[in-house]
Structure 1
Amino acid sequence: MGLVAAANGTLAATVGTEHSLTQQTGIGVYVLMVDTSALAEGDTVEIRIKTRRASGETSRIAYKYTYSDAQAEPHKYSDAVPIDTEIICTITQTAGLVGRTFPWKLLRA
């Protein structure tokens, strides 16, 4: 089974705004990786992965991860998400004095 980068980038967050990282519709098992090394004391970020059970249905949250303050282990990996419809990955910085920058990558097997 090969592993490929389905999407990647760097997000400059605005505090309080949910930012879409990527939306993919290819069949596969996906893992989202986010670098949270920019987080500082008082910052909080939420990473959400949304999926659809079947075509035509509404996307719903499958996983939500919340991280606060400076991170000793800054590379965060999601659970593996097997899908055949759609995956949407988002980031929301919910607290902090300034928006932080988050490099990310969505891997597909």
Structure 2
Amino acid sequence: MPIKPSEKEDEYFAKLEIQRRLQAQAQKTGALAEEEKKRLKELHYLCCPKCGTKLEEAVLEAVTVDICPGCHGVWLDEGELEKLKAGGKGFFGSLREVFE
């Protein structure tokens, strides 16, 4: 006569199966999120946040800033404003040179 597994054994294996499926789903979701993040970065890299035009780089006092030819917005990366402020002409003097 075959031996029946106890209810606790069935419950244990059911929990293991649920955990395995949840982990597999989490890995799949994480991989998809990374792919989507990479795709969006490639799509929007160096585009103006205001109008969407491709940004052009310009050098102001040895600092490379991003300028939008569409709306004439100027975009600075982290630390660039401090470098421009520390320069001799000041931020607005350097910025004036770009548009002249």
Report TM bin, short chain: under 0.3
Q: Which has the higher strand share?
A: 1
Q: Which has the higher helix share?
A: 2
* TM-score w.r.t. length of structure 2: 0.23
* TM-score w.r.t. length of structure 1: 0.22
